[in-house]
Structure 1
Amino acid sequence: MAEKKEQARPLAQATDRLSSGDEARPLAQATDRLSSGDGDVEATLRKQKTRRKRCMIKCCGCIVASVLILVAVILILIFTVFRVKDPTVKMNRISVTRLELINRMTLVFGVNMSLAADVSVKNPNVASFKYKNTTTTLFYRDMVVGEVQTPPGKAKARRTMHLNVTADIVVDRLMSQSNVPDLLADVRSGLLTVGTYSIIPGRVKMLSIISKHVVLRLNCTVTVNISSLTIQDLDCKRKVSL
């Protein structure tokens, strides 16, 4: 009986070992599953973070590209369409409207000699050119013999504005002591040369943002044929100041 008991003990120990091994396997499998599950979650989080970074980079790139394109378009418009171009002034025609003579050759004291001029202002800009009072001064031998002012106006975008200027020359001023010899010589020759100087200050304004002050100057030399009351010669020089 004692031998039987001793033989039975190892069998019980083996059974215990088998049972303990069987129970450990599910625990190990569960642990492996948990560890593999944690790895999947971490990988998913990494992918989401990578996608977010890519989206943010794309959005930032689109914003930067849009800003650069907008700046480029604005610069192109400023230097092309919205670039302020110089208005031009031109003396189209000038004529003698009044000149009283004795025997068609001698000037009469106290009588005014009148000149009518057609001056045009061309505005090549996409915005209007507003100008202030225009002053036209008449000269004879560097002496002021007349002056006239024209009211303010506006030359529309890409249009030409015409100014009709009528100026009177006071003959009494022409007959000053210093001018008598030269004036008599001019009258005998039948040609009287006078100078005109017009100044037109104004401003070109675009979109209430771009504004530029412009001053147009027109300096002309006019030779009048006293006999026919016509313009024998006209020479003008233009200047634009910004």
Structure 2
Amino acid sequence: MPSNNRSYRKGLKLCCAATSIFIVIFIIISLILFFTVFKPKQPHVIVHPPSLQHIEFQLFPVSLNVTLGLVVTIDNRNYGSFRYKDTITYISYHGTSIAEVPIEHETVPARGKLNITTYANVTAVQLISSPYFWGDVRAGQFNLTSMATLHGKVGVFKILKMGATVSSTCDISVHFISQDIESKCHSKIKL
């Protein structure tokens, strides 16, 4: 009977050692994959030239409201999808907020692109009353800044889900003589 007990203990020790080695190897491989292949990459955000949807002008009292149709492309280079909540993007002109852009909740697929179609209601009176306005008119270019923060969840292989925040700032140059728009966006993801 004692020899059976010894062989049982020896088998149990071998099983525990093999399991421990397997767990250590699994953790090492998971860490290597997380810091290389699955390492979060910053998404690319592209603002496409807007289209004029509606313009409203009133002489007394002076008011000018413009609605622009916008298309924003989010290029997700990560292996995880990103589902974000409803948010608002703010567009400012020399530090003064001139428009709010609603963005409805959506999911950006893993390693995919998402086109967001939305609109911006620009309060042009704030634009015109800026001390920079007439100088920019003479220069033929308006420089705007848009800021958005998307709160949501990242899902990897539909198994692992964690909270994430994507912040995006875009510098937009509107050349109104050539009717050309340039945008440079910088995005950061925080898990």
The match for 1:174 is: 127
Q: TM-score, normalised by structure 2?
A: 0.78
1:87, distance to aligned residue in structure 2 (A): 5.0
Q: TM-score, normalised by structure 1?
A: 0.64
Q: Bigger shift: 206-215 or 53-62?
A: 206-215
Q: Which of residues 213, 220, 234 in structure 1 aligns to 2:163?
A: 213
Cα pair distance change 1:77/1:158, threshold 3 Å: farther
Q: Which of residues 69, 72, 95 in structure 2 aligns to 1:142?
A: 95
Structure 2 residues without counterparts, runs of 5 or longer: 56-61
Q: Which of residues 49, 55, 59 in structure 2 aligns to 1:95?
A: 49
Looking at CA atoms only, which structure, 1 or 2, has the larger radius of gyration?
Answer: 1
The match for 1:59 is: 11
Residues 147, 170 of structure 2: 8 Å contact kept: yes
Distance 2:94 2:170 in 1: 13
Q: Which structure is higher in helix share?
A: 1
Residues 75, 113 of structure 2: 8 Å contact kept: yes
Give me the CA root mean square deviation: 3.0
Q: Which runs of at least 4 in structure 1 moved beyond 6 Å after TM superposition?
A: none
The match for 2:66 is: 112
Cα pair distance change 1:112/1:208, threshold 3 Å: closer
Distance 2:106 2:53 in 1: 30
Residues 43, 187 of structure 2: 8 Å contact kept: yes
Q: Give 3-state SS (helix, strand or coil) of 2:43's partner.
A: strand
Paired residues in the alignment total 183
Q: Bigger shift: 89-98 or 130-139?
A: 89-98
Q: Does 1:187 align with 2:137?
A: yes
The match for 1:42 is: none
The match for 2:81 is: 128
Residues 50, 70 of structure 2: 8 Å contact kept: yes
Residues 95, 117 of structure 1: 8 Å contact kept: yes
Cα pair distance change 1:152/1:196, threshold 3 Å: same
The match for 1:105 is: none
The higher relative CO (CA closer than 8 Å, separation ≥ 6) is in 2
The match for 2:180 is: 230
The match for 1:156 is: 109
- Cα deviation, 1:13-49, whole Å, max 9, x if unaligned, reads xxxxxxxxxxxxxxxxxxxxxxxxxxxxxxxxxxx52
Distance 1:115 1:193 in 2: 18
1:239, distance to aligned residue in structure 2 (A): 1.9
Distance 1:183 1:73 in 2: 63
Residues 87, 121 of structure 1: 8 Å contact kept: no
Q: Which amino acid aligns with 2:72?
A: D
Residues 145, 169 of structure 2: 8 Å contact kept: yes
Q: Percent identity of the aligned residues?
A: 20
Cα pair distance change 1:128/1:168, threshold 3 Å: same
Cα pair distance change 1:189/1:113, threshold 3 Å: farther
1:70, distance to aligned residue in structure 2 (A): 3.8
Q: Give 3-state SS (helix, strand or coil) of 1:137's partner.
A: strand
1:150, distance to aligned residue in structure 2 (A): 1.2
The match for 2:150 is: 200
